Amino acid sequence: DTGVSQDPRHKITKRGQNVTFRCDPISEHNRLYWYRQTLGQGPEFLTYFQNEAQLEKSRLLSDRFSAERPKGSFSTLEIQRTEQGDSAMYLCASWGGRGRETQYFGPGTRLLVL
């Protein structure tokens, strides 16, 4: 257990539905990252927050995706009008800033879009 939790762990949805995932980082960590991992690939960066500010978004993050981190604590990732290509593992990581090795990953949310 890294101290980073994600909810839900699994989500099955029908194409066109909206889904929302939550990440609770390690409490004193000010930076939070979202990654997506598809089969046979490594985690791919989506976006990150420094406290409540979203500082960078990958071109992978289409306009159907939105992420928030109100009050600089937990974060949510919403996917609107899901497509089958959105099926993936969505990983959250928090970073305490002392060294790159201190980026801790949560267990991930596995999304299946039917």
What is the nearest approach in angstroms of another protein to the Cβ of residue 64? Answer: 21
Which region among 11-19, 35-43, 59-67, 75-83 touches another protein (by CB under 8 A)?
A: 35-43
Rounded Cα gap, residues 6 and 75, in angstroms = 10
Interface residue with another protein, options 7, 20, 45, 76 (CB under 8 A): 45
Residues that bind another protein (CB under 8 A): 2, 4, 33, 35, 40-45, 48, 56, 91, 93, 97, 99-108
